């Protein structure tokens, strides 16, 4: 019989080594999160998954599950904290959802909707970061980066290329390309790389497929992020298909759209 902890007064089983967030998602209990990805070691950068244990708070993605732990997550206090964090992320970047190619497939947008974020909350910074369109197939819009580091870890740990890195500290911290020129065209990134699949917002985009998926058919049009996260959570004993649902978003649709667009352009030439 597995050990358990309490999450919002419900018993949640866990296996040794799991975090509170991992155990909760596996057991079908949603805790809002943003930078967590099931294929990478959690590092608690966004703090959206913060929960309360007694009189202290902690990021549930890095909090080890322990028997007898009493965790509070779905409360007015915690959800208000999460709304504030999401508002800050929106304010720090240029997130114009109606004109963004990632709209409907964006985790930040979906999380804001799920949490009921209806106002800006803070004065927007409107950063002025150059867009990198140097690569023939990939566009980088640094203005939308939320510093989750998923592309950095995917490129280094999975692709073994380390195309991306974070530079600077504090408010000046930003995403950079690891090339002498600073341009993506001077790296060996490929469309099939893991780093291309994990960005939760609209920073890393495939060219020529923007807005290819109609409204109503995009990932978070169909089901809220809270339901999608539970679908994506690894389950004990489930067969490993090699397919990462949490990575997909619009990847499959984009790949199909890219094929169609290439075919169309070929017919026109």
Question: CATH no. for residue 218?
Answer: 3.30.70.20
96 and 60 co-located in one domain:
no
Asked which of 74, 92, 110 is the last residue of a domain, the reply is 74
- Residue 90: domain span: 80-232+245-251
pLDDT (mean) for 215-225: 94
User: Is 264 inside a domain boundary?
Assistant: no
pLDDT digits (tens, 9 = 90+) for 71-90: 999 999 999 999 999 999 99
Predicted confidence band of residue 256 (pLDDT cuts 50, 70, 90): very low
Asked which of 55, 74, 93 is the last residue of a domain, the reply is 74
111 and 185 co-located in one domain:
yes
Domain count, the chain: 2
96 and 172 co-located in one domain:
yes
Cα angle for residues 230, 46, 37 (degrees, 5° grid): 40
Number of H helices, E strands in the chain: 8, 10
User: Of 214, 251, 234, which is closest to residue 39 (Cα–Cα)?
Assistant: 234
pLDDT at position 117: 95
pLDDT at position 116: 95
Asked which of 54, 74, 94 is the last residue of a domain, the reply is 74
User: Is 19 inside a domain boundary?
Assistant: yes
pLDDT at position 237: 60
Evaluate the CA torsion angle 86, 80, 229, 235 in order and state its sign. Answer: positive
164 and 210 co-located in one domain:
yes
pLDDT digits (tens, 9 = 90+) for 3-59: 999 999 999 999 999 999 999 999 999 999 999 999 999 989 899 999 999 999 999
User: Is 260 inside a domain boundary?
Assistant: no
CATH of the domain at 7: 3.10.20.740
Judged against a pLDDT cut of 80, whether residue 130 lies above it is answered with yes
9 and 114 co-located in one domain:
no
Evaluate the CA torsion angle 111, 113, 115, 120 in order and state its sign. Answer: positive
Predicted confidence band of residue 246 (pLDDT cuts 50, 70, 90): low
pLDDT digits (tens, 9 = 90+) for 225-241: 999 999 988 876 655 54
User: Is 23 inside a domain boundary?
Assistant: yes
92 and 123 co-located in one domain:
yes
Judged against a pLDDT cut of 90, whether residue 219 lies above it is answered with yes
Predicted confidence band of residue 1 (pLDDT cuts 50, 70, 90): low
């Amino acid at each position: 019989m597995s050990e358990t902890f309490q999450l919002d007064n419900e018993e949640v089983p866990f296996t040794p080594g799991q975090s509170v967030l991992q155990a909760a998602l596996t057991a079908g209990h949603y805790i809002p999160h943003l930078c967590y990805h099931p294929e990478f070691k959690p590092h608690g950068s966004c703090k959206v998954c913060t929960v309360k244990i007694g009189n202290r708070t902690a990021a549930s993605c890095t909090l080890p599950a322990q028997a007898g732990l009493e965790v509070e997550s779905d409360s007015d206090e915690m959800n208000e904290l999460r709304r504030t964090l999401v508002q800050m992320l929106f304010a720090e970047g240029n997130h114009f959802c109606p004109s963004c190619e990632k709209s409907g497939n964006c985790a930040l947008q979906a999380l804001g909707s799920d949490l009921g974020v209806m106002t800006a909350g803070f004065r927007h910074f409107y950063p002025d970061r150059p867009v990198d369109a140097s690569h023939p197939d990939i566009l980088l819009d640094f203005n939308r980066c939320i510093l989750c580091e998923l592309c950095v870890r995917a490129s280094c740990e999975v692709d073994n290329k380390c195309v991306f890195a974070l530079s600077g500290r504090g408010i000046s911290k930003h995403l950079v390309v690891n090339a002498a020129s600073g341009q993506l065209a001077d790296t060996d990134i490929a469309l099939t790389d893991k780093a291309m699949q994990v960005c939760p917002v609209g920073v890393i985009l495939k060219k020529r497929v923007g807005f290819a998926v109609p409204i109503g058919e995009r990932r978070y049009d169909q089901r809220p992020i809270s339901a999608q996260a539970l679908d994506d959570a690894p389950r004990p004993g489930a067969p490993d298909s090699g397919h990462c649902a949490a990575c997909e978003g619009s990847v499959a649709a984009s790949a199909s759209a890219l094929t169609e667009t290439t075919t169309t352009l070929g017919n026109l030439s």
